[in-house]
A = this chain, B = another copy of it.
Amino acid sequence: MSISEFIELNRKSLLDDLFSLLRIQSISAKADHHQQMLDCANRWKELLLQGGVDSVDIYPTEGNPIVFAKKDINPQMPTVMVYGHYDVMPAEPLELWKTEPFEPQIIDGHIIGRGADDDKGQSFMHYAAFKYMMQEHCLPCNIHFLLEGEEEIGSPNLEAFCTTHKELLKADIILVSDTSMLSADKPSITTGLRGLAYWEIEVSSANRDLHSGIFGGAVANPINELCKIIARLQDEKGRILVPHFYDDVDIVSDSERQLIAATPFDAEEYKSSLGIDELHGEEGYSTLERTGIRPTLDLCGIWGGYTGEGSKTVLPAKAYAKLSCRLVPHQSFDRIAPLMQNYIAQIAPSYVKVKVTPLHGAEAYVCPINLPAYKAAEKAYEEVFGKRPLPVRRGGSIGVVAVFEKVLGIKSILMGFGLESDQIHSPNENYPLYMWKNGIKTIVAFYKNLTL
């Protein structure tokens, strides 16, 4: 039986199984959803056992448990570890959903519901492919499944789990389906993800809010000073002015830049979908380079003083900002965080107090396109989508792949089959059935092509 025949024959039961996961409100951001997290982990355990794994263990962590399953056909054979996450984003704002977020439905050929793509829908494709290969006795290697329940809150317990379970997690390659393609007819594989550094800045002046008429002009204004500091973080060419910030930036080869330049990109469509007249970023780089291979600096929030209606005059005591940098491969969060702190301390004027607190960090990741597993994925996409997939560096951050590389020394292939129209993290999340089916087929083709 071909994989296409298998999907058609088992369409209903496969979708029923997926829907059983989608119905569970496994929202990791909500502390009172602990039972739903356990329910979802247990439901995965049942499915994996039905699919034919040898064993499934649910490992408790300080947060939500990790599901780990094994199917070892031969210890001498290579091992593929599939990573996915069973937690989902909150569904709010609920009023914008056209259906119930946790009552999955098929409408116009799309699975609709929270997690339809991210990541229940995508990780389920690996389960379906595994079930097929078990039934057809064509599994060419060992498969392990690692499913965590905290990806949407930054995987706070995954690194510790990897560190203490290195032997268990040994594998030759990791497959992750948690990213998107350029579009349905432009297959692509994500080969780079940016890292992240995140700080909060607090600028303080007087010990209380002051009357701006009585004290204005004589006492430093923390908003004015915060803005001046922020204005000095980048020059007019969009270069970040923190000394040594670019020291470790991966210099992308001309040939890779040519590949990026060949990536289909319609600037007019991009601008019109965002409602902007002009693109803006670091001088000397294209839009795809700016979001893919260059580090960036974005204020994510700012606040201070009077922010209500009308014209209250006040010289505020404090002002705050949330500052983030996306990092590229080889830039380490641990190195960048103090560089930023030192630079701001150096440019901050003596007449205000400035505190910079690092809040969060994630390392960048790059997948070399000459890896045998990458080649197998590339061939699989080409067989199913009829076009060779483009290697694409994306701007987002999936901290876990950097953790796998750092702690386990294993590369991940980001075999994502999402589309930008899937509305992940937003109301009306959906996943087209044809992408879901093509994803399953591509995964099966990957195993067929794999030579590790």
Contacts and interface: CB of A to CB of B under 8 A. Distances in A.
Contact of A216 (B302, B305, B308, B326): B326
Contacts of A218: 279-281, 287, 290-291, 395
Contacts of A352: 280
Nearest to A222: B299
B301 A307 contact: yes
A274 B206 contact: yes
Interface of A: 29-31, 89-90, 92, 152-154, 180, 194, 196, 198, 200, 205-221, 223-224, 226-228, 230-232, 234, 238, 274-282, 287, 290-291, 294-316, 319-322, 324, 326, 349-352, 359-360, 394-397, 420, 423-427
Contacts of A217: 238, 281-282, 290-291, 294-296, 298, 326, 395
Contact of A280 (B196, B210, B220): B220
A210 B426 CA distance: 7
Contact of A223 (B221, B302, B314): B302
Nearest to A394: B214
B313 A212 contact: no
Contacts of A212: 296, 298, 300, 324, 326
Contact of A224 (B230, B290, B308, B424): B230
A350 B278 contact: yes
Given A217-B326, A300-B316, A302-B304, 17 more contacts: A209-B425, A213-B326, A214-B395, A215-B274, A216-B326, A217-B296, A218-B279, A218-B280, A221-B299, A224-B297, A227-B299, A300-B313, A300-B315, A302-B302, A302-B307, A311-B322, A313-B425
A427 B314 CA distance: 12
A400 to B, nearest CB: 14
Contacts of A216: 291, 296, 298, 324, 326, 395
A420 B207 CA distance: 14
A305 B305 contact: no
Contacts of A207: 274-276
17 contacts: A29-B312, A90-B312, A198-B311, A206-B276, A213-B394, A216-B291, A216-B296, A217-B294, A223-B230, A223-B300, A224-B297, A299-B319, A300-B314, A301-B305, A303-B303, A305-B322, A310-B360
Chain A contact residues: over half helix, strand or loop, or mixed? loop
Contacts of A350: 277-278
Contacts of A224: 230, 234, 297-299
Contacts of A278: 220, 350-351
A112 to B, nearest CB: 15
Nearest to A309: B29
A359 B310 contact: yes
Contacts of A208: 274-275, 423, 426-427
Interface centre among A31, A209, A313 (most CB of B within 10 A): A313
A397 B426 CA distance: 42
B302 A319 contact: yes
Contacts of A227: 226-228, 230-231, 299, 302
B349 A280 contact: yes
Give the top 4 A-B pairs by smallest Cβ distance, nearest first. A213-B396, A207-B275, A217-B296, A231-B231
Given A300-B313, A351-B279, A194 B223 contact: no
Contacts of A424: 211
